Structure 1
Amino acid sequence: MKVLIYDGECNMCSVFVRFVVRMNKNPDLFITDFNSDWTARNVRIRRDTDSVIFISGLHQQLYSDAVIDLLSEIHWLFKPARILKFIPKVLRDKIYQVTAENRHRFFKTASCPLPSEKFKHMYLK
């Protein structure tokens, strides 16, 4: 089982998760947020975590590794994204963190869309 854990209160994360759900072809991938009961029961998260978390088997990944590995799991079209791992992790993670710090400038929504049936099926409560 593979699980994407995201910040349900972050507009950028919500946009990203809707994209993941729409593109996902992997029946073993599920999503949930930091505040779900599933997360509380199954994952130890540090309070200062400021990244999506991608769990694949026993591995937890954060920042750019989480995004790259998640994308390569959802659809064959994104397998080439793994080439980004040739960029030094320090640089990739810095880009991730700068983007996350400025997310409120770029991702503003007045309302949240209703979850699709596919989203409901993939979501771990």
Structure 2
Amino acid sequence: MNVLIFDGECNMCSAFVRFVIKNNKNRDFRITDFNSDWYYTHSELLPNVDSMILIINERKIYTYSDAFIHVLTNINKKFYPVLTLKILPRIIRDNVYKLIAKYRKRIVRKKTCDIPTRSQQEYFL
């Protein structure tokens, strides 16, 4: 099972999760947020990380820009070209990720919460 952990209180993160669900072709892909019971039982995996987290088969853990890249390539083969971003040094990619994350609440503003449909609920832990 592959699990994406995200900030459920962040509108940008929620928009990304909607995009992931819409484009997902991987039946083993699941989603949860930092406030879920699943996260609390598995939080020893990465304490104090201010990033989305992707866990692949409970062995490989990605954060920051690597998580973003590997989420896309994990959900759908059409996103494999995104792997070319790994040509850039991780420090550069991660700094861009952190800069966007710092201002994410100003970039995407939304007053309402999304309620997943029944078909979307199957992806959530």
Q: Same fold (TM over 0.5)?
A: yes
Q: Shift of residue 14 of structure 1? A: 0.5
Shift of 1:50: 1.2
Residue 86 of structure 2 is aligned to residue 82 of structure 1: no
Identity %: 44
CA distance in 1, matches of 2:42, 2:106: 33
Q: Note the C-alpha offset of 1:35.
A: 1.1
Count of matched residue positions in the alignment of Structure 1 and Structure 2 = 123
Residues 21, 118 of structure 1: 8 Å contact kept:
no
* Secondary structure in structure 2 of the residue aligned to 1:9: coil
Instruction: Give the SS at the match of 1:30.
Output: strand
TM-score (norm. length: structure 1): 0.94
Q: Which runs of 5+ in 2 are unaligned?
A: none
Q: Please name the residue that 1:121 is paired with.
A: 122
TM-aligned CA deviation for residue 43 of structure 1:
3.2
RMSD: 1.0
Structure 2 counterpart of 1:11: 11
TM-score (norm 2): 0.94
Q: Segments of 4+ in structure 1 off by > 6 A?
A: none
Stretches of structure 1 lacking an aligned partner (at least 5 in a row): none
Rounded to whole Å, the distance in 1 between the matches of 2:11 and 2:25 is: 23
Q: For 1:122 and 1:30, how far apart are their aligned partners in 2? A: 5
Instruction: Indicate conservation of the 8 Å contact 1:6/1:52, yes or no.
Output: yes
